[in-house]
Structure formats: C-alpha cells, structure tokens
Amino acid sequence: MAFTQFLFILLNIGIIVGAKKRNVLLIIADDAGFETDVYNNSAIHTPHLHALAQRSLIFHNAFTSVSSCSPSRSTILTGLPQHQNGMYGLHQDVHHFNSFDGVRSLPLLLSQANIRTGIIGKKHVGPEEVYPFDFAYTEENNSVLQVGRNITKIKLLVRKFFQAKDDRAFFLYVAFHDPHRCGHSQPQYGAFCEKFGNGESGMGWIPDWKPQHYTPEQVKVPYFIPDTPAARADLAAQYTTVSRLDQGIGLILEELRDAGFENDTLVMYSSDNGIPFPNGRTNLYWSGTAEPMLLSSPEHTQRWGQVSQSYVSLLDITPTILDWYSIPYPAYSIFRNKQQVQLTGKSLLPALVSEQPWATVYASQGHHEVTMYYPMRAVHEGPYRLIHNLNFKMPFPIDQDFYYYRDRWELYNTSADPSETQNLAADPAHRDLLQRLRDQLLKWQWATFDPWVCAPDGVLEVKLSPQCRPLFNGLD
C-alpha cells in the first residue's frame, strides 16, 4: 500500500525516469477572423501564423459556441456552454456576469493535477476562485493595452514564465487583446488601436513591432460587410492590428523554442468570436461563429500543414487539453442534488492522426452587454444551420449591428446559400429536416442544463423533476 502511494506521488510530480513532460501553449486572439493567408486571404501578410500553420493541422470548420467575449472565454476555459457555466454576458463593470461558483474550470483542474498554470493578456472571466492561475498578468492587475497589445511586454512576460525555476509541466494561456476595436475607449489610438506603440508622437513605442500599413483599396471585404469606403478604412486599420498580433505570435513561439519547450508543447491558436462588424460578433450565423483553428503537436507530424474539414468547436479545447495531459474529467455537480456535469465537447487529438467524421457543432447566445439581450440557440450539422431566436418578437438589440426583427426559426443550407439569406424553415420540402434538427438541438439543451430549454413557449420547473410548464402567450 505504501509503495503504491509512493508510486502515485512520483507519477503526479513527473519525476519517474523516462517520463516526458507535456506542456500546452494556448493562444487566443480577440475578435479575429480569417485575416491571414492561412485562410486564403492574400491581401494581408501574416508570416508567423503561416509558419505555425506549416506545423499544424488547419481546421476549416471551427466554430465558437457563443459569439461574445466573456461568454466565449468561459467556454474555452471550462468546456461548458455559457448557459451551463453561468457566464451569460460580459464580465466587466456594470455587466458583472460570472461563472457559477461550483464550475471546475480548466486551470483549476490542471492546478489540482500539479500542472503550473499561467495567463498573459485578457482574462475577462470570473470569479477568481473558479479561474485561478499561478502566474497572472491580465487586465485585473495591469493595463490591458500593455499585457494584451504590447508585444514586447508580452514577449518578456512569456520569457519570465518559461524561466521560472519550476520543473512541473505547464499550461500557458496567452490572450491577445488584438485585433479588438478600441475607438470607443481609446480613440486616440485609432479604430483598432492600430496606432498604439507605432512610435509616433503620443502613441508610445513597441520595440519589437514593425507596423504593416494597408490602404483601403488593398483589403479583402468579407461577403457579409457592405463594401463602402468606411468599411474598407476600418478593415485597413484592422489589418495593421492583425500584423501586430502576428508578430506577437512569432515572438512567443521564438521564446518557446529558445526555452527548449518546442518539442514537448501542444500549441493551439484560435479566436473568441466573430469580427466586430455588422453580422459578425454577437450573431450565430457563420459570419459570427466561424473561427480560425490551428492545432500543432510535436508528436503528430504526419498531418502538419494539412487541412481538416471536420467540424470542431471552442468547447473542444478543454477536453483536448485534458486528454493531452491524460487527466480525466471529474464527476461533479455544479448545484447540489443536481445531475452530474458532462462535457459535450471532444478531444481533437484523434484528428491529428486521421480525418474524423465530426459534422455537428452547437451554439448558445444570451447577453452581450447586460442590456443587449437576445437569446439564441443553434445547431450546425453538415451544410445546414438551424437557429432558434427565442426573443423573435423583439428587434435584435446589439450595438454595432443592424436592428431588425428575425424569424423564430432560421434554417440555411450553407453549401447552396453561403450568405445565409434564404430561410428554409417554412419550406415544406425541409419540414422533416427542420424537425430533426429541432429535436437534436433540444436534446443538447437538456444535456447541458439550459435554463432556457422551455423558452419561449414555457418556463423550466426543476424543483421536483425538470419539466416545461406552458406559458399561454399565444406562441406556437
């Protein structure tokens, strides 16, 4: 018995001869899209993302499960949709949304498994007890401009983390604030903070940044953005900020190599939600949920540089990282006397070996800011996307977007109609498909303890056994 306990301790601290430490570097951009040649945008120069892609599996069907900052980051760090972990909207200031106290997040689970955890950049989730990090330089204790956009500062913090005298395996989460808009908060730096640190008078200087400038004529306008001079000017500013993000990623990967960790570290790159333009962020269309996703494993070189068409979700990040460390997900309940929590995401590690038949992802949106409430649920299976607008009687109330009414059910064939303009929900030819996807979405909502599972036709009653109580509000 004593030997067994001693062996367990040795395994836990990773000092058995021949045991190889596995590390993780997770890089998340802020409101980034496909502004890179990795995703066939030749108008912008991103050599460091290109180099990472050559060592990665490139996912062409990666999606966020919620298109808003704090909710998305909570799903990344818990593997639970926003309606399940409690981060219904933005975390900061008057919005003040937090995950439930009982949620067991990725950094919490890793810490319990004796893995060193670090975060640099934009955290934007809470409470601290749910999302603890051993090493933390975020907006909570620093300027988010410095820890999220100053790539020299970020480089030095990464170096500090790597040089710590700590032999444990590590998880480092670098959460850039680029290329998020900043014209609403720091207009002196430009619409996307593209002037921040460029060396001009009053802008400060980021020594490692070599600004890349673009003209409005050079940009590639996404299909869902009106092609206007104002939009092109915005995109040109965004491209400059993306170039800072790209150079920052290059610096981080160089630090990883110099520290000797490149050959035992899983590197993941993605973004939190759609780009901050009309029809982008806060929407559950492709334009609001599709994300870049690169997965680089030093142990799986056979698919480096290849493209995967498998459907993956940001909900898959936590299961993937737990799988990399061989850490099982615990059996627990968020609330007392309720069902146990189960992850609905999956590990992406099998895709590093061979193409997987994954073809379904889910999404759940509630709030953005506290007053910007428009609950939606969605399932995307193969070419079809079904969106349930729970508050369809109200106009879409999100800033930076169009204020208009939407149908309760939206069904699109994204293969035949990539712009998602032809709603098939009322088409008799798609009646069976609509019902099947509705049933599938409802099943996922029940599995993830969605408090809105009965809306808008009823309310959820959970005191005895979970059931929907009808509301006689005239809705079908």
User: Catalytic residue positions?
Assistant: 69
Edge-first strand order for the sheet with 290-296 is 135-138, 116-121, 170-175, 23-29, 265-271, 290-296, 57-63, 307-313
Other C-beta atoms within 10 Å of 296: how many?
Answer: 23
- Cα(94)–Cα(83) distance, rounded to whole angstroms? 19
Shortest CA distance to 410 belongs to which of 432, 377, 383?
A: 377
The SS3 call for residue 195 is coil
| Nearest CA among 136, 63, 46 for reference residue 365 | 63
Phi, psi dihedrals of residue 138, rounded to the nearest 5°: -135, -175
Tokens of 76: 């990344």
C-alpha dihedral sign at 141, 144, 147, 153: negative
| Residue 307 backbone phi and psi in degrees, to 5 | -105, 135
CA distance 453 to 375: 11
Distance (Å, whole) CA 76 – CA 291: 13
Q: How many CB atoms lie within 10 A of CB 419?
A: 13
Decide if 56 contacts 43 (C-beta within 8 A).
Answer: no
CB contact at 8 A, 422 and 430:
no
Is the Cα dihedral 450, 453, 458, 462 positive or negative?
negative
Q: Which one-letter amino acid corresponds to residue 446?
A: W
Spatial neighbors of 452 by CB under 8 A, at least 6 apart, are: 83, 366, 375, 377, 390, 445, 460
